[in-house]
Structure 1
């Protein structure tokens, strides 16, 4: 891949050259190439390519619905790679579909346990920020998700970030849905917990009543803040905020 070294940075197309900016590699330039679009759409030799394109398009649509559902949470926790990583994961889940033919495989809810462990910020994790296990549960009978935050001493059990004075826990529970307008998750948050002194055990509970046949997934997040004159401000860019799909409850 050719690099742009001049003071003037181009974007777009000039003749057979295409100029772009990659988020990590900087400005790049490449020559126009590849197979004609019409040929890909009609040539029997590109049947596998068309099947892959169809499935990846379906995966992108499903991932978009999840992002819409979690939009309010993503503003605080997601990094700039989350979109592509989530689409890639959904694509892998689609490939677990053993009922439909190649090119027509879809996201089946019985395979959704593969969502468990997904990190919305790949630079951080719950385990990195807190040296205690967080294991939420979902009770279908009661229609409630529960997270017990164990007693901990921030000085020993928390990754202390420069400038941070407090931390906050978020518990979210959502019905897994591929509807055009997916239902919003139910969220509850702890108070702002000072990063000094022992924090006693605390329980967060989020009510969510769903149909017995619905899949439910549970998310836990940890975010860091700085207190100034009684106001709490998120750390710049929240580089270490963590949010994880910690469990997927299949009926």
Structure 2
């Protein structure tokens, strides 16, 4: 693999040369290599490759469904690596299928617990932003999902970012779907803007899902920071510390 050293920074194809930019290696130029697609799809020696391709394609489709469900939250809290990290976890869940043959294993809802703990922003986390437990609960008989925010002093408990004057908690919950024609969106509620000076009394955030649900439920908690100017609250510019996590995957 060659690297481009000149001031000309090209991307795309010129003849048999492919110019690209790597986030870690800079600008590169490649020539075609490896087996062609026809051989990969027909040659018995590439059977394992075809099996891996089939399963990865299936995992990518399920990951896309999850991204579609959580799109608004991911835009607000997610980083540039979230898409690949999510696909990787979905692929691991697919491999937990102990019935299907290689190349035919599928994403099973009962294996969804591996999604618990997924951080939307790999550069931050709830535990980094807030030093106390944030317990959540789901009552399937009523459909109520709750987040218990304890009494706390932000000066002792929260990560104080330069320029921030307030913080806000977000609770979101959604039923899992594997049907691309039926994609429920999360129920979301946000706390008030909480000053970063003075003790904040405990409170309960609640959202409602369908009663007596028999589906897997994702419960997410997020924290973001704001700066108050007069009566307007502004999200910190390019805030790298917005945090949201799938804190619970409730499997019926």
**TM-score, length basis structure 1:** 0.97
Distance 2:233 2:3 in 1: 43
Secondary structure (helix, strand or coil) at the match of 1:209 reads coil
The residue correspondences of 1:205-224 to structure 2 (distance < 5 A) are 205-224=206-225
Q: Report the CA distance shift for 1:49/1:211 in structure 2 as closer, same or farther (over 3 A).
A: farther
For the 8 Å contact 1:165–1:225, the answer to whether it is kept is yes
Deviation, 1:210, is 4.8
Distance 2:2 2:77 in 1: 34
Distance 2:234 2:176 in 1: 32
Secondary structure (helix, strand or coil) at the match of 2:240 reads coil
Distance 2:109 2:131 in 1: 32
Deviation, 1:211, is 5.0
Q: CA RMSD in A?
A: 1.1
Match of 1:174 in 2: 174
Give CA-to-partner distance per residue, 1:140-176, whole Å, 9 cap, x none: 0121100000111111111111111111100001001
Distance 1:173 1:116 in 2: 13
The residue correspondences of 1:33-52 to structure 2 (distance < 5 A) are 33-52=33-52
Secondary structure (helix, strand or coil) at the match of 1:35 reads coil
For the 8 Å contact 1:176–1:216, the answer to whether it is kept is yes
**TM-score, length basis structure 2:** 0.97
Distance 2:208 2:94 in 1: 30
Secondary structure (helix, strand or coil) at the match of 2:91 reads helix
The residue correspondences of 1:70-219 to structure 2 (distance < 5 A) are 70-180=70-180, 181-219=182-220
For the 8 Å contact 2:135–2:147, the answer to whether it is kept is yes
Secondary structure (helix, strand or coil) at the match of 1:137 reads strand
Give CA-to-partner distance per residue, 1:77-130, whole Å, 9 cap, x none: 000000000000000000000111110111100000111000110000000000
Distance 1:210 1:50 in 2: 42
Secondary structure (helix, strand or coil) at the match of 1:155 reads helix
Deviation, 1:15, is 2.6
Task: Number of aligned residue pairs: give it.
Answer: 251
Give CA-to-partner distance per residue, 1:162-217, whole Å, 9 cap, x none: 11111110000100111114101100100111111111101100111155421111
Unmatched runs of 5 consecutive residues or more in structure 2: none
Distance 2:184 2:247 in 1: 19
Unmatched runs of 5 consecutive residues or more in structure 1: none
For the 8 Å contact 1:77–1:238, the answer to whether it is kept is no
Secondary structure (helix, strand or coil) at the match of 1:49 reads helix
